[in-house]
Structure 1
Amino acid sequence: MGGKQAKPVSTELTDKQIALLKANTKFTEKEIREWHAGFIRDCPSGKLDKKKFVEVYKQFYPQGKPENFCKYAFDTFDSNNDGAISFEEFLIAISATSQGNLDDRLAVAFDMYDISDDGVIDQAELTKLIIAMYDLVGETNRKGDHDPKKRAADIIAQLDVTGDKKLTKAEFVSGCKSDPIIRRLLAPNA
């Protein structure tokens, strides 16, 4: 008695949700309903948890180990930090990573790499993400130029305009836009 019950998640789309998603994405109502049907088919509870999120990534990267990468991506997409991704969070993330202009997509990548959420990416954060990306795609050569720590240091040295050994969002976006090799590595979908 007296304990709060968790409010059940509705698996039906409301007109208000559709309007909100249309305003925040480039999806049509028909596309939103199609995405929603697939989301509910895969996540009948209306929430995508970390375990299911990893399962989805394993389908796309069968040769890799997506757990490490998924930890960072999941935390980025779980915008309200409730431990699950709602349909709205899911669709806005899909939209930002696939429909947005290059600056928008690079900004999403920056937000994922800024693990400490302090507005900058340092070498330790970038190293962790490079290791996670190597794991994701099954890359085992991590010597020489492929060493994650060396690669992170090289990228920061190249993109760091202010010389503080950290990347701001502006430095990250600008650097990725000007260097196609770095962009392919750090933001393959951008």
Structure 2
Amino acid sequence: MGNQQHKRITSTELTQKQIAVLKATTKFTEKEIREWHEGFIRDCPTGRLDKKKFIEIFQAFYPKGQVENYCKHAFRTFDTNNDGRIDFQEFLLAIATTSQGDLDTRLAAVFDMYDISNDGLIDEKELTTLISAMYDLLGEIVCKDDYEPKTIAAAVIEKLDVNGDKKLNKAEFIAGCKNNQIVRQLLAPNI
């Protein structure tokens, strides 16, 4: 029992080794890492963010949206070790990738979220699923056929699919988003 308590305490402490790793893999300073950690521990006293809390946090940012579908995919992307929880290192690396990386890196992170099957390709069904989740997140109501997620997904795949396989690989996705502002606004609005 004493061992379990020790593990719980150390999971909320930030070690010099962790700081060194995070400084080497992000552009955050030690001071910024410590500030992010303080906020993370304040919101997640156990040192781990579960799906329920993740959804609560998103709901605060999108009070009019239905965040559950989007959060399911975002959580899967952030939880890199697939243990059902996001620890501080996973959290900060996700923040750094989506905010500090160059355009290719940030678009690659978006691709990874859209690649639900984790096969290195995005098909129309996956794209439709994520576009629907984004509509839910933003509280969008779709009235016209031209704006239906399935219609948009088919049009995006047709526009970006260079090799003609009716799927997008990471290179096609990144190039398409970089070369088409409208597509980038649609698929990666915060980038």
On whether the aligned pair clears a TM of 0.5, the verdict is: yes
Aligned to 2:64, the other structure's residue is in SS state coil
1:177 maps to 178
- Which amino acid letter does the alignment assign opposite residue 45 of structure 2? P
CA–CA distance in structure 1, aligned partners of residues 11 and 120 of structure 2: 34
- Which amino acid letter does the alignment assign opposite residue 112 of structure 1? M
Deviation at 1:144, TM superposition (A): 1.6
Higher relative helix content: 2
Q: Tell me the alpha carbon deviations over residues 108-137 of structure 1, each in whole angstroms, 9 at most, x when there is no partner.
A: 000000000000000000000000000000
Question: Is the contact made by 1:58 and 1:66 (CA closer than 8 Å) also made in structure 2?
Answer: yes
CA–CA distance in structure 1, aligned partners of residues 26 and 171 of structure 2: 23
Aligned to 1:85, the other structure's residue is in SS state strand
Matches within 5 A, 1:63-102: 63-102=64-103
Aligned to 2:142, the other structure's residue is in SS state coil
1:34 maps to 35
1:127 maps to 128
CA–CA distance in structure 2, aligned partners of residues 67 and 75 of structure 1: 12
- Which amino acid letter does the alignment assign opposite residue 112 of structure 2? D
2:56 maps to 55
Correspondence 1:105 to 2:124: no
Aligned to 2:122, the other structure's residue is in SS state strand
CA–CA distance in structure 2, aligned partners of residues 88 and 171 of structure 1: 30
CA–CA distance in structure 2, aligned partners of residues 60 and 177 of structure 1: 27
Aligned to 2:141, the other structure's residue is in SS state coil
CA–CA distance in structure 1, aligned partners of residues 146 and 178 of structure 2: 22
CA–CA distance in structure 2, aligned partners of residues 115 and 61 of structure 1: 23
Deviation at 1:142, TM superposition (A): 4.6
- Which amino acid letter does the alignment assign opposite residue 37 of structure 2? H
Deviation at 1:143, TM superposition (A): 2.6
CA–CA distance in structure 2, aligned partners of residues 46 and 139 of structure 1: 34
Aligned to 2:13, the other structure's residue is in SS state coil
Q: Tell me the alpha carbon deviations over residues 4-47 of structure 1, each in whole angstroms, 9 at most, x when there is no partner.
A: x6953521100000000001110000000000000000000000
TM-score normalised per structure 1: 0.95
Deviation at 1:145, TM superposition (A): 1.3
CA–CA distance in structure 1, aligned partners of residues 93 and 49 of structure 2: 14
2:18 maps to 17
CA–CA distance in structure 2, aligned partners of residues 185 and 67 of structure 1: 19
CA–CA distance in structure 2, aligned partners of residues 11 and 81 of structure 1: 19
What is the RMSD computed on CA atoms of the aligned residues? Answer: 1.4
Farther off after superposition, 29-38 or 137-146: 137-146
Identity of aligned residues (%): 68
Ranges in structure 2 where 5+ consecutive residues have no aligned partner: none
